Structure formats: structure tokens, C-alpha cells
Amino acid sequence: MLFDYKAVSAEGRMTYGRLDAINLIDLEMRLKRMNLDLVTGNPIQQRTLFGQRGVPRPELINFCFHLEQLTRAGVPILEGLTDLRDSIEHPRFREVMAGMIESIEGGQTLSQAMAAHPDIFSQVFSNLIRAGESSGQLPDVLASLSESLKWEDELASHTKKLLIYPAFVASIVLTATFFLMVYMVPQLKIFVRNMGQALPPHTQLLFFVSDLLVGYWYLFLATPVVAFLVGLQLVRTNPLARLRFDGIKLRLPVVGPILKKIILSRFASTFAMLYASGIPVLESIRTTQHIVGNHVIRRGLERVEQSIREGHNVAGAFHDVGLFPPLVIRMLRIGESTGGLDKALLNVSYFYNRDVKESVGKAQALIEPMLTLFMGALLGWIMLSVIGPIYDVISKIKT
């Protein structure tokens, strides 16, 4: 927990700052080791509307890279962390580093100090660091983590590319349609009806929708927001709702298969790192269950773990669950039989990573014309419904 503290030094100077501690007693002990006496300490609420505040991924990438270089050069962990703390600009990460230094000075290992900050260092991160410490390969583990974080950053970029453009275009289309329905169509409706022309069904439907929007515009604006917030709360608090929602995401057209490939690619890459670091297969699978971010896939991995416990091999367990296609199962079977399961898993990750890039490109090429077609059809319906009756009257006048 992060505390805002006021303390006094041995010289009587008042000091203000922030420090991670378990409770006020722990905060007081940590300040005493810094030759400070606690005056007041208040816990800081670190949760925001979108969850617990963390550290940007680029900061973690730089942390892993620099700590790897320092440990490879033989610099002690404490000195390396102190140098990193003084060079980090992100305030939250600097506070976490200060807390880690205090924990290590108190006798904890690096992995134990990281495990005390699960909002910054995931369980996978802490387990890999622990494996690196026990095997004496901490620099190699840090290098693998750095590469893995870069890869995750790239995957996040692909996901944003896939979702941001459709969301942006859809927002513009909905805003333009709302403006036309609320402002333009009511004015044109008076003109069209005054002509005394019999209105076609699609024009009557347009005027009906416009009247609804004008009369109940606040409901049309508030309902999606309320529905989103209620759905978000339901998904967060109800495990069954979360399971069904995650299943729907995987079944979405175009986006669903890509999302599944991204999740399985993340799983294969993390599984490969854990297994290559010396962590047993079952513990590796159990750890990866917490990072897939989808309850359907997570339940599948739980069944894989149970199947392996019952004596099935890795490839057979994944084949029975149906998570991976036959080509990937063949890779796992070959890797398991040759003793190169970690290399096979890295090949699986590479296979999915390449497939995700190609799928995102194809999806973008497919979504853009579909959105353009939808926008054209919607605006065309509005224009045709209004201009059609006017054109009929003009045609009759000419004849």
C-alpha cells in the first residue's frame, strides 16, 4: 500500500513524501531506517475508474533492459536498483522501486520484493525472476522478459489498429446521423408534408424515427451509457456473466478469431519462457492461466492441467481440449518427443504472431469498405426518403 507521509529528520527538518508499506507500523519502521520519525501517514487510494493504476509497459521494458545490463556487468542488485530508482521519471514506478529497495535491505529477495507489488509485476514476472535467481541465470531471464514485453507491446498495437479505426468511423457516422435526424429532418419534414404528396413507407419510417429522437433524445443518449456501465459491473462481479461475455468475444465475426490468436500467442510465449527457465510444466500452465485474460481459454487451460495430472502428455492434453489447430498440436508433439518443448512453444508463438499480423491487415482491409458501405447506405436512406417525394412533385409539375 502506498502512503503519503510527513516525517521529521534528526536535525528537526520536516520531510514530506510517499512510500510503500504494509501498514502504518511498517511505514514507521521503514522511515526509521531512513533516519526519519513518522509524524502522520495516510494511505493513498490507487484505484481509478478503469482499475488499479499501474506502470506503462515501456517503463517496464526499460527497467528489464537496464537491470539486465547491470546484473550482467556484475553490479549488485541493490546498487543496480538504486541507480535505476534515481533515473526513473515515472513517479509511481519510482515509489515502487524505493519500496523494493527497502524490502531487499530487510532481507527479501528480488522476486519477493516484486511479488509485493502485483499491480506492477505480474505473477508470471515474479515467478520468472525467482527461477532466474535460483538457477543463476537472472540476466538471461531479464532479457527474455524484455523481449516478451516488447512483443506484448506490439500485439497491443495490432489490437488497437484493429479496433480504433472502426470505433472512430462509427462514432462519426452516429454523430452525423443523430444531427441529421434531430436538426435537419424535422425542418425538411414540414416542407415535404406541406406539398400534399403521399409519403412512401421509407419516408414515413424516417419521420417516425426522427420524431422519436427529437422527443426522447436523452433516452437515446443515456441508454447506451447506462447499459454499458451495468454490463461492465455485471461482468466484473458475476463469474457466469464474465464467462459468457468472454465466449461471445471469441465468436464475434472477424474480430473473434483474431482475439483468440492473440490470447493463444501470449499463452505460448509465456509458457515457453516459464518452461525454459526451469519451471515445471504443470506450474507453468497454472501460472499462465492468470495472464490469458479470457475465462473460456482459462477453463480450457485448467482442463489441460487436469489432463496432464491424469497422465496424458502435453500434446494430447491440448488436442483433447481443442484450443490449438492440428498444425500446432503436431509442433507440440514433435517438441515433446525430442525434448525441445520450449523451442516448440516458441515456434507456436511465432506462428500465431505472424498469423495475427496478417489477420489484422486483412481485417482492416475488410472493415474499412464495410464501414464505408454502411455509412453510405444510412446517409443514402435519409437523403432518398427526403428528396424522393420532392422529386416526385417536381416530375408531376413538369408533366
What is the spatial distance between Cα 91 and Cα 189, in angstroms, rounded to a whole number?
58
- The residue among 149, 67, 73 whose CA lies nearest residue 111 is 67
Amino acid at 279: I
Query: pTM, whole model, 2 decimals?
Result: 0.65
Cell numbers for 53, please give them: 493504476
Does the structure show a pLDDT above 60 at 45? no
- The residue among 152, 142, 135, 358 whose CA lies nearest residue 269 is 152
Query: Sign of torsion, CA 264 265 267 271?
Result: positive
- Name the percent of the chain lying above pLDDT 70: 89
| Owner of C-alpha cell 521494458 | 61
pLDDT computed for residue 164 by the predictor = 77
End-to-end C-alpha distance for the chain, whole angstroms: 83
Per-residue pLDDT of 177-232, as tens digits, reads: 788 778 777 777 776 667 666 667 777 777 788 888 888 878 888 888 899 899 88
Question: How many DSSP H helices and E strands does the chain contain?
Answer: 17, 5
Does the structure show a pLDDT above 60 at 399? no
Cell numbers for 136, please give them: 543463476
Does the structure show a pLDDT above 60 at 165? yes
Query: 396 falls in which pLDDT band (50, 70, 90)?
Result: low
| Owner of C-alpha cell 499501474 | 54
* Structural contact between residues 278 and 131, judged by C-beta atoms closer than 8 angstroms: yes
What is the spatial distance between Cα 360 and Cα 254, in angstroms, rounded to a whole number?
9
pLDDT computed for residue 271 by the predictor = 82
Per-residue pLDDT of 131-159, as tens digits, reads: 888 878 888 888 888 888 887 787 777 67
Query: 390 falls in which pLDDT band (50, 70, 90)?
Result: low
pLDDT computed for residue 251 by the predictor = 87
Q: Is residue 310 exposed (0-12), middle (13-18) or buried (19+ Cβ within 10 Å)?
A: exposed
Cell numbers for 182, please give them: 434531430
pLDDT computed for residue 47 by the predictor = 39
Cell numbers for 158, please give them: 495490432
Query: 392 falls in which pLDDT band (50, 70, 90)?
Result: low
Query: 22 falls in which pLDDT band (50, 70, 90)?
Result: low
What b-and-e string marks burial along 190-218, b requiring 16 or more CB atoms within 10 Å of the CB? eebeeeeeebeeebeebbeebeebeeeee
Cell numbers for 137, please give them: 541465470
pLDDT computed for residue 279 by the predictor = 81
